[in-house]
Copies of this chain bind each other. A is one copy, B any other.
Amino acid sequence: MSSGPVFLGLDLGGTNVKAGVVSDSGEVLSSASVPTSGSHGPDYGVQQIATAGRLAVEQAGLRVSQIAAVGLATPGTMDIPSGMLLDPTNLPGWQNYPIRQRVSEVLGLPTVLQNDANAAAYGEYWAGQARHVRSLAFYTLGTGLGGGLIVDDHIIEGEHSHGAELGHVILEMQNGRLCNTGQYGTAEAYVSATALLKSFREHLNAGTPTSVRQRLQSGEELSPKLIADEAEAGDQLALELILDMARYLGVTITTAVHVIDPAMVLLGGAMTFGRDETRVGRTFLERVREEFRRRSFPVLAEKTVITWASLGSNAGFIGAAGCARRALNLRRIP
């Protein structure tokens, strides 16, 4: 185990909270996951968060008092500086909840709050795929399309804690698809599990031939994983819709890169189609890059690196721990 202070990272999701103890150099010393349910309300939720944290600390062979600081990553709208959840869609009953203060009280440790996608981005920047570059745009592909931006060790949190809503750039100003948030033509309406399933269902209803139909008839549920599997096995429609999404993501990235010009763009999250392990994953990434190259300034087309994130579902708690470390004014080791 490396010397120096250690940090506790907590990543609150819709169904569980992940916790991990992380060293000063970004090494994961332990991790734990505890199921949680937003519907039991915030006070119960905070207990579950603390339980996950204590479990991780114990598994690292440490006492809570040996943790230098805690980083907490959560979804939903929030005010990062004051540590308040404002109106988190997936956590009913948590409106205007001082979550940072409550977690800090229960664990008895200084705690910082961060948006979950920002935290995952910082994880990749501090200890993952982007650890050797100066700036990063990070996309998390899941139910929605989240994002995080890091520039020179600075998290772009935004004036109203709405920085790096990278899934809410507008791709189609006219006749754009409707997004969950009520906006039209945003990236998330084209690039997300929600969007993929919606498009696929439209094709199923229209009678487009696809091997997916048989699997649904045998009782399976439509999911990005099922669609990706059938694409890998040769289904034309499945592959087409996945590559359509890649093309939209390429445009989404072009727009963000023209705003920020980061050294690296990373794709993470649950919906990454097997990444380099599958033909579909590789083709998806290549199509994203092609669309980006076709649309961006020449120097960016040539030099901007677009690739997979490397920390998987640990990125959130690692990054949260990194944010705690950063709050103590420790910068990334160059």
If A170-B254, A297-B181 touch, does A135 touch B159 (CB 8 Å cutoff)? yes
Mark the stretch among A17-25, A39-47, A255-263, A277-285 that contacts chain B: A255-263
The answer to whether A168 touches B251 (Cβ under 8 A) is no
The answer to whether B149 touches A152 (Cβ under 8 A) is no
The answer to whether A297 touches B168 (Cβ under 8 A) is yes
Within 8 A of B (CB), among A132-173: 133-135, 149, 151-152, 154, 156-166, 168-173
Tell me, in angstroms, the Cα distance from A300 to B299 when the chains sit together: 33
Any chain B CB within 8 A of the CB of A317?
Answer: no
The answer to whether A77 touches B299 (Cβ under 8 A) is yes
The answer to whether B166 touches A259 (Cβ under 8 A) is yes
The answer to whether B170 touches A259 (Cβ under 8 A) is no
Any chain B CB within 8 A of the CB of A183?
Answer: yes
The answer to whether A299 touches B261 (Cβ under 8 A) is no
The answer to whether A170 touches B171 (Cβ under 8 A) is yes
CB-defined contacts of A159 to chain B, threshold 8 Å: 133-135, 261-263, 303-304
CB-defined contacts of A225 to chain B, threshold 8 Å: none
Any chain B CB within 8 A of the CB of A215?
Answer: no
The answer to whether B135 touches A170 (Cβ under 8 A) is no
The answer to whether A170 touches B295 (Cβ under 8 A) is yes
Distance in Å: Cβ of A288 to nearest Cβ of chain B: 14
Interface residues contributed by chain A, number (CB under 8 Å) = 49
CB-defined contacts of A154 to chain B, threshold 8 Å: 151-152, 154
Any chain B CB within 8 A of the CB of A200?
Answer: no
The answer to whether A260 touches B261 (Cβ under 8 A) is no
The answer to whether A170 touches B255 (Cβ under 8 A) is yes
The answer to whether B251 touches A165 (Cβ under 8 A) is no
20 further contact pairs, Cβ within 8 A, besides A165-B258, A168-B258: A77-B299, A135-B158, A149-B260, A151-B154, A156-B260, A157-B261, A159-B303, A159-B304, A162-B300, A163-B260, A163-B261, A164-B259, A166-B258, A170-B171, A170-B251, A170-B295, A171-B173, A172-B173, A255-B259, A256-B259
If A183-B295, A248-B173 touch, does A258 touch B162 (CB 8 Å cutoff)? yes
CB-defined contacts of A262 to chain B, threshold 8 Å: 158-159
CB-defined contacts of A258 to chain B, threshold 8 Å: 162, 165-166, 168-169
